């Protein structure tokens, strides 16, 4: 997906701010989604950080019922698209619309040639078979996955464009800002393709990445101080304002 098309999808002139909610229960998820809707965020991701996939599915359905028009994506923690896409296909069949899937690991292997990306190809086949057709952004050189040497970032990012709508990367850990040079390398590698970033974004450092990144998946940087689970509205509002101002520049 091209950068223009990604931003158009979210009606965003700057990077799209997509808050990530670490779900605990239906009430907590609904409360936080209501905050981001009120502040004008164009969408969100729900993630099952503390329990398995089966337990989060009714919460996803509950949130969708409360916010039928919201762009809503999910991340099934520690699950690749090979297992996630059949679940998303079943949710679609059951009438639960999920608009996007973010995988921490898209299984891109910089040690192999482009036509030998065995696991990424299996994921692509699972996506096709599932009947689900949302936006797929997949972790590449991503935190807590198999470590990739910096000299291989460019090749990895270029490979990734063939398997997902938006390439996704991160810093070294949750809440840790990514090295600016890594983002520069990714942007050079993928050209005009969409790039998302999923760790360490705050209202104080977002300006460092706005030229190169098209989507910010953000939790720690907009949550209450010392609270992993709940959005602080003023922080989110500030980040949204900054991205809109950046996008409005001539």
Mind listing the pLDDT tens digit of every residue in the chain (250 residues)? 999 999 999 999 999 999 999 999 999 999 999 999 999 999 999 999 899 999 999 999 999 999 999 999 999 998 999 999 999 999 999 999 999 999 999 999 999 999 999 999 999 999 999 999 999 999 999 988 889 999 999 999 999 999 999 999 998 767 678 899 999 999 999 999 999 999 889 999 999 999 999 999 999 999 999 999 999 999 999 999 999 999 888 7
Q: Which structure tokens are listed for 216? A: 């910010």
**Alpha carbon distance 97, 170 (integer Å):** 27
Q: Which pLDDT belongs to residue 238?
A: 98
Please give the sequence-ordered ranges of beta strands (E in DSSP) within the chain, or none if there are none. Answer: 16-22, 44-47, 72-75, 100-103, 135-139, 166-169, 194-197, 215-218
98 Cβ contact list (under 8 Å, min separation 6) = 60, 64, 72, 73, 74, 88, 91, 92, 132, 134
Q: Quick one: which of 152, 96, 92, 178 has its CA closest to 127?
A: 92
133 Cβ contact list (under 8 Å, min separation 6) = none
**Alpha carbon distance 93, 239 (integer Å):** 36
pTM for this prediction: 0.95
Write the Ramachandran bin of 161: left for phi over 0, alpha for psi from -120 to 50, otherwise beta: alpha
Contact, 73 vs 99, CB < 8 A? yes
Q: Which pLDDT belongs to residue 177?
A: 84
């Amino acid at each position: 997906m091209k950068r223009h098309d990604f931003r158009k999808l979210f009606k965003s002139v700057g990077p799209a701010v997509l808050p990530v909610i670490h779900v605990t229960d239906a009430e907590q998820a609904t409360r936080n989604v209501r905050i981001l809707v009120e502040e004008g965020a164009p969408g969100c991701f729900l993630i099952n950080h503390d329990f398995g996939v089966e337990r989060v599915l009714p919460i996803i359905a509950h949130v969708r019922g409360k916010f039928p028009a919201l762009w809503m994506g999910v991340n099934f923690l520690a699950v690749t698209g090979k297992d996630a896409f059949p679940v998303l296909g079943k949710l679609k069949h059951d009438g639960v619309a999920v608009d996007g899937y973010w995988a921490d690991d898209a299984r891109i292997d910089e040690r192999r040639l482009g036509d030998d990306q065995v696991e990424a190809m299996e994921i692509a086949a699972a996506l096709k078979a599932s009947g689900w057709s949302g936006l797929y952004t997949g972790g590449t050189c991503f935190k807590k996955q198999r470590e990739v040497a910096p000299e291989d970032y460019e090749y990895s990012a270029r490979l990734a464009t063939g398997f997902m709508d938006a390439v996704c990367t991160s810093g070294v850990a949750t809440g840790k800002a990514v090295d600016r040079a890594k983002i520069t390398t990714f942007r050079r590698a993928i050209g005009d393709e969409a790039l998302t970033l999923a760790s360490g974004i705050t209202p104080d450092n977002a300006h460092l990445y706005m030229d190169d990144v098209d989507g910010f998946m953000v939790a720690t940087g907009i949550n209450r101080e010392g609270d992993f689970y709940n959005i602080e509205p003023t922080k989110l509002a500030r980040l949204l304002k900054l991205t809109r101002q950046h996008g409005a520049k001539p």
